[in-house]
Structure 1
Amino acid sequence: MSATSLRLVAHGHTAALRQARFGGDDSLDEGGRRAALALSPAGTGRRQGHAVACLSSPAAAAVETAHALGLAPTVETALTDCDYGDWTGRSLAEIAASRPDGLREWLSAPDAAPHGGESVVALRRRVGRWLDAQRGAGRRVTAVTHPLVIRVALVHALDLPLAAYRQFDVAPLAVVRLTDHGPRWQLRLDAAPAPADW
């Protein structure tokens, strides 16, 4: 089996992300679009590197981020954001005011889904299956997705307790690199994204 190099990229800023809203399918806002374009080979004056596979969440912000980076994404449903059920589109402040017990439950119990959508446990299962399928493929993959998806992917890849996902803070356009070596994924933290290597 050949090693796989996997870059997980958080999509750029959206209005919902700036307003701490759960889920939704917003496009990039103007700041998010400019920031993503600035990271592209064209935006940095660098040439595109050799071809890599690009996968993307179906969400508009993820697809638009991939295009802004100069990539041609293929939609991968396993990279979809958590299903927040009836909380989708509502702000954290709104839920804290209207359903404080439900919010506390969701934040403290990864198997809880008080919103009627997907629990963090279910999200980790979905993302973990996808991540496991990437091992040994011997290719370079850039996957543009959501911060929570990246957080649970890291927990799965590093074989950490699920509660550790709360300790990862994934900013818009953050890049996490994983490579599979032997029986485990290895986390690599680069000095800065290398646009020519997208």
Structure 2
Amino acid sequence: MTVRVVLFAAVTGSEGVRFGDVAPDTAASAAVRAAVGALPGFARAYTAPEARCRATADALGVHAVPAAELGDLDVGRWRGKELDEVAAAEPEALAAWLADPAAAPHGGETLLALLARTTQWLASQATAGGRVLAVVPQAVVRAAVAGALELPPAVFWRLDVPPLSATELTGRAGRWNWRCGRPPYA
């Protein structure tokens, strides 16, 4: 059975790079509404539990089922802090986290754990088949691509995922393909 999964990267706030959930501002919500007509058809829709993902799905007019396994990378005590703030306060911890996919100096989830749960979710969708839309944080898109294509975990940090972009994975029986080149929806 073939499945087509479109991972739609949720809108983010206009603040700097901050760990954790940041609700979209008015301009970001307007950008989401502009993307509505470009969405591909789907049989099932899911959203990560973060407010920005739910707000993106709502602005798209998509009734999406919440899926905890699509949640953002849990960064523990770094949640709510800006990247520059963490880099200044804990440079060694940040460097270790970026270098070692099994490290969680923040007390949250490892990159390996994010990759595993995202890949497991993809496998469950392949079993069901059909067309799927998932509104997720950028980290989940990166984890899905790295996991589906069985890439080394370090590739996760090298993938850029703009807000309001769509990433397509198609697959069946444990084999995934990544459809490259689809423009952002904004």
Q: Which amino acid aligns with 2:57?
A: A
The 3-state SS of whatever aligns with 1:83 is: coil
Question: 2:25 aligned to 29, 39, 43, which one?
Answer: 29
How many angstroms apart in 1 are the aligned matches of 2:41 and 2:71?
27
- Structure number with bigger Rg: 1
Unaligned runs of 5+ in 2: none
Cα distance, 1:36–1:97 mapped onto 2, change above 3 Å: same
List structure 1 segments (4+ residues) > 3 angstroms apart after TM superposition: 48-51, 190-195
Is the 8 Å Cα contact of residues 146 and 152 (structure 2) preserved in structure 1? Answer: yes
How many angstroms apart in 1 are the aligned matches of 2:113 and 2:177?
23
Q: Which amino acid aligns with 1:27?
A: A
Is the 8 Å Cα contact of residues 126 and 173 (structure 2) preserved in structure 1? Answer: no
Which is worse superposed, 86-95 or 183-192? Answer: 183-192
**Aligned: 1:20 with 2:20:** no
How many angstroms apart in 1 are the aligned matches of 2:185 and 2:129?
20
Equivalent residue number for residue 35 of structure 2: 39
Q: Which amino acid aligns with 2:170?
A: T
How many angstroms apart in 2 are the aligned matches of 1:194 and 1:52?
20
How many angstroms apart in 1 are the aligned matches of 2:148 and 2:67?
18
Which is worse superposed, 59-68 or 182-191? Answer: 182-191
**Aligned: 1:187 with 2:178:** yes
**Aligned: 1:114 with 2:105:** yes
Unaligned runs of 5+ in 1: none
Is the 8 Å Cα contact of residues 13 and 31 (structure 1) preserved in structure 2? Answer: no
**Displacement after TM superposition at 1:190 (Å):** 5.0
Identity of aligned residues (%): 36
How many angstroms apart in 1 are the aligned matches of 2:48 and 2:98?
24
Q: Which amino acid aligns with 1:189?
A: C
The 3-state SS of whatever aligns with 2:127 is: coil
How many angstroms apart in 2 are the aligned matches of 1:182 and 1:193?
28
How many angstroms apart in 2 are the aligned matches of 1:107 and 1:123?
14
Superposition pairs of residues 38-187 of structure 1, within 5 angstroms: 38-41=34-37, 52-181=43-172, 183-187=174-178
The 3-state SS of whatever aligns with 1:135 is: helix
**Displacement after TM superposition at 1:133 (Å):** 1.1
How many angstroms apart in 2 are the aligned matches of 1:50 and 1:120?
31
The 3-state SS of whatever aligns with 2:128 is: coil
TM-score by length of 2: 0.92
**Displacement after TM superposition at 1:138 (Å):** 2.1
Q: Give the total of aligned pairs.
A: 186
CA distances 1:129-158 after superposition (whole Å, capped 9, x unpaired)? 111111132221100111111101101111
Is the 8 Å Cα contact of residues 136 and 180 (structure 1) preserved in structure 2? Answer: no
How many angstroms apart in 2 are the aligned matches of 1:144 and 1:54?
8
TM-score by length of 1: 0.87
